[in-house]
Amino acid sequence: MKKLTSLFASMVVCLSLLLGACSEEKATPDPQAEVSQPAPVGQSGVSDDVSQKDIVKVAVGSKDHTTLVAALKAADYVDVLANAGPFTVFAPTNAAFAKLPAGTVEDLVKPEKKETLRNILEYHVSVGVYKTEQFTDGQMLDQANSEKVKIGVKDGKITVNGATIIASVPAANGIIHVIDGVLLPQTK
C-alpha cells in the first residue's frame, strides 16, 4: 500500500512537472473576472434630446405630475414606461393624489410598500394606444396589473372608473390621458 502511495505521489510530481513545463504558455490571472459589470440602466437612461419625448420624459416635464413621477421612481417602474410599449397611461395630477386620505402617498412610497404601489401604478397603464376618439361608453380596458377599468363617454366627457380625462398628451411610445382622480385597484 505504501508503495502504491509513493507511486501515486511520484505520478503527481511527474504530472505537475509536465504541467509546469507549460507554465510560460499559461495565462496570467483572467482579467475578465476583474472587470466589474456596469450597473444596469434601462431605456430611461438613454441620452437623447432629439427624439419625441417618451411617456416618462413627458411626465417628468409636467409640473402637475411630480407626485406621479415620485411614485413611478419609488415603484421602480420608470424603465418599463420608457420601453417600446405602446402604452396608454392614465396620469393622475398632483391634485388627484391630494384627494387621497392624508398620509396615503407618504405611506405608499415607503420601500416596504413597493409592491402595493406598483400594483396601483400598473392599474393606470394599458398596453396599446387608445386615443380619446377610440373610447366608447362602457368599454373595458385590460390594465397592466391584470384588472380592468371602465370607460365612460357621456355628454362629451370621457371618464375612466369615474375619473375625468382632462387632457391628452401624445408621447413617442404611446399616449397619456391626464385624469383628476387616482384609480384604485381591487387587489392590493
Partner 1 sequence: MKTKLHLAMIAGLLAIVLLPSCKPKDTSSAVTGDAASKSYVAPGKYDEFYNFVSGGFSGQMSCYGLPSGRLLRVIPVFAVDPEKGWGYSEETKPMLNTSHGFVPWDDLHHTEMSQTNGEVDGRWVFGNANNTPRVARIDLTTFRTVEIIELPNSAGNHSSPFITENTEYVIAGTRFSVPSDNADGDVAINTYKQNFKGYLSFISVGKDDGKMDIAFQLACPGVNFDLSHAGKGKSHGWFFFSCYNTEQANSLLEVNASQRDKDFIMAVNWKKAEEYIKAGKGKKVPAKYAHNTYSDATHSATSEMKTDVMVLDTKEFTDICYMIPCPKSPHGCDVDPTGEYIVGSGKLAALIPVFSFDKVQAAIANKAFDGQFDGINVIKYEAALYGEVKKPGLGPLHTEFDGKGNAYTSFFVSSEVVKWNIKDLKVLDRVPTFYSVGHLCVPGGDSKKPFGKYLIAYNKITKDRFLPTGPELSQSAQLFDISGEKMQMILDFPTIGEPHYAQAAPADLIRKNQVKIFKIDENKHAYVTKGEKESKVVREGNKVHVYMTAIRSHFSPDNIEGVKMGDEVYFHVTNLEQDWDVPHGFAIKGAINAELLIMPGETATLKWIPEKVGIFPMYCTDFCSALHQEMQGYIRVSPAGSNVPLMFSLGNTIDGKAPATK
Interface residue list for partner 1 (CB under 8 A)? 3-4, 7-8, 11, 14-15, 18-19, 21-22, 25-28, 30-32, 35, 37-38, 40-41, 46, 48, 50-52, 54, 84-86, 127-129, 133-134, 172-174
Nearer to partner 1, 18 or 102 (CB): 18
Peptide bond into 40 cis (omega under 30): no
DSSP per-residue letters across 94-154: HHHHHTSPTTHHHHHTSGGGHHHHHHHHHTTEEES---GGG--TT-EEE-TTS-EEEEEEE
Nearer to partner 1, 2 or 188 (CB): 2
C-alpha cell at 179: 385624469
Residues in the chain: 188
- Beta carbons of 120 and 96 less than 8 angstroms apart: no
Query: Least separation, in Å, of the C-beta of 172 and partner 1?
Result: 4
Query: Least separation, in Å, of the C-beta of 97 and partner 1?
Result: 28
Query: Least separation, in Å, of the C-beta of 20 and partner 1?
Result: 10
Query: Least separation, in Å, of the C-beta of 24 and partner 1?
Result: 9
